[in-house]
Every structure is written in C-alpha cells, then in structure tokens.
Amino acid sequence: MDRRLLAVFLLVAALAAAPVCAHAEDDDVQFFNNITVTPDSPVGDAVCFFCNVHVDGKTNGDIVVFFGNVQLSGQAQQDVVDFFGNVKAEDDSSIGGDLVTIFGSVHLSDNVKVGGDLVTIFGTSHAPASVAVGGDHVLLSPWILFGPFLLIALFIYLIVHLVRSRRMRMPPYPMPPMPPMPPMPPRR
C-alpha cells in the first residue's frame, strides 16, 4: 500500500512540476531556419537559434537571436537582442525598446530610431549622428574581458622564458673524477 501511495504522490508531483506549454499564434520561433518578416505578415515575437532574422515589415514583440544576425528594414515595436551575431538597421527603421548585442556588432544607418538603450557588450557599434537613441548608449569593449587574460598569459610566458634561458646558461655538470686505478700486481 505504501509503495502505491508513494508512486501516486510522485506522479502527481511530476505532473504539477511540468511546465505548461506557451502558445501564441503570431510568434515565430525557429531553429536553424531563417525568419523573414514581410509587410504583409507581421509577427509578435521572433526568436531564432542558429539562424538570421530579416525584418521588412513589423514585429509587435521582441526579436531575440542566438548565433545569428538581425537585419532590420522596418519596425521592431519592442526590444532587439542578439547574442554572438550582428545587428544592421537600414535607413529610417525603428526599434521601440532596447537594442542589445553581446559579442557582436551594431551598424545603424541614417535616421534610425532606438526608443530605449543601445547596449553593445564585447563588440563594436557604428551609428551616425542622425541616429536617435532614447536612452543610454553603452559600449563595453572586449578588452575589458580579454585584457586581464592577455596580461596573465604574457606574465606566464615571461616566467617560462626566463626559466628556460637560465637553464641553458648554467654550465653542464662536470665529469665525475675517474675512479682510482686498482693496484697493479707486483712483477716477478
């Protein structure tokens, strides 16, 4: 009886802990397939893993890309986030929220509007003077991450180089003395 009760309890706990599937009719989530948003087919959120998002129309939600690029020629009503990829916004396009890239680059053309912050972490950012950013423009250089590792590697290289050069300059060990000759037997 105790085993059955334990099994029922574990089954109920597992079903209660299982996540409820999210469903949205106008969202687009892709793995290894590019997402193209046209003016005729707007989407809510566009989430892409190992692929690219090309927006000619309008996205009503966020654009999130992992290991891919974003090319924006239209409107993104919310945030645009790109990990390990590049974001390129064409002339007169707009982003309603924040634009964030991590380990990637941002290239904004003329008259692009970013409603929130423009954040580039460990990447590059190119924006002409005609770009309007509603929040802060934050650029965190890759040297902040890789600089300390470069200094540590240089320090280790110097120590190894000094130890090896000293070892080569040391005189070799002298030859050990010859053992004494055994006494010769007397001649007869």
pTM, 2 dp? 0.66
Q: Tell whether the model's pLDDT for residue 19 goes beyond 70.
A: no
Position of tokens 């540590």?
A: 152
- pLDDT tens, residue by residue, 45-67: 999 999 999 999 888 889 999 99
Q: Are 79 and 63 in contact (CB under 8 A)?
A: yes
- pLDDT tens, residue by residue, 133-179: 888 888 887 777 778 888 899 999 998 988 887 766 656 667 778 88
**Element counts in the chain: helices (H) and strands (E):** 2, 18
For residues 98-106, give the mean pLDDT. 92
φ and ψ of 51, to 5 deg = -155, 180
- What does DSSP assign to residue 23? -
- pLDDT tens, residue by residue, 83-93: 999 999 999 89
Q: Whats the size of the chain, residue-wise?
A: 188
